[in-house]
Amino acid sequence: MDDRTLLRRAVALADRCPPSSTFRVGALVVDAGGAVLAEGWSGRRDPHDHAEESALADLAGSDLAGATVYSSLEPCSSRASRPVSCTGLILGSGIARVVYAWREPALFVDGRGDEVLRAAGCEVVEIADLAPLVRRANAHLPGVAP
């Protein structure tokens, strides 16, 4: 499968998020051959879970070299609810490629995930034309228009 197809699948996972006052995000971890290793979404196990965090938790201890994270929203670079951001979790996992649709707007924190990942040597791909799908899933937030 290609990046667009896999990212659309991650975007669709946001529909599984429980009602919340935060972002509704979906994420996949995919191996180098295109096989989906794990799925995650915001609030999957705990109200504070982020989508990338949720997917990566299913793969703790796995060799993720060559894997890609697909996330509907740019991975967070800081957060109030947990000590490690999603960018930190991605970098700690050994994943060196991230594909996302929508840059995190400054509603809760100043998002710099793209820049942090690139500075650490990750390949980062933004597929911005899919961002309207992510905004639609997050239209419950103030200032987010579909």
The structural domain count of the chain equals: 1
Q: Residue 104 falls within a domain, yes or no?
A: yes
CATH number for 105 = 3.40.140.10
Write out the catalytic residue numbers: 52
Q: What is the pTM of this model?
A: 0.94
* Residue the block writes with tokens 């930190």: 88
Q: Residue 145 falls within a domain, yes or no?
A: no
Choose among 73, 78, 90, 82: nearest CA to 128: 73
Q: Residue 97 falls within a domain, yes or no?
A: yes
Q: Virtual CA dihedral for 67, 109, 57, 32, nearest 10 degrees?
A: -10
Q: Residue 37 falls within a domain, yes or no?
A: yes
Residue-by-residue pLDDT tens, the chain, 146 positions: 799 999 999 999 999 988 777 889 999 999 999 999 999 999 999 999 999 999 999 999 999 999 999 999 999 998 878 889 999 999 999 999 999 998 887 766 667 899 999 999 999 999 999 999 999 999 888 878 77
Domain hosting 65: range is: 3-137
Q: Residue 39 falls within a domain, yes or no?
A: yes
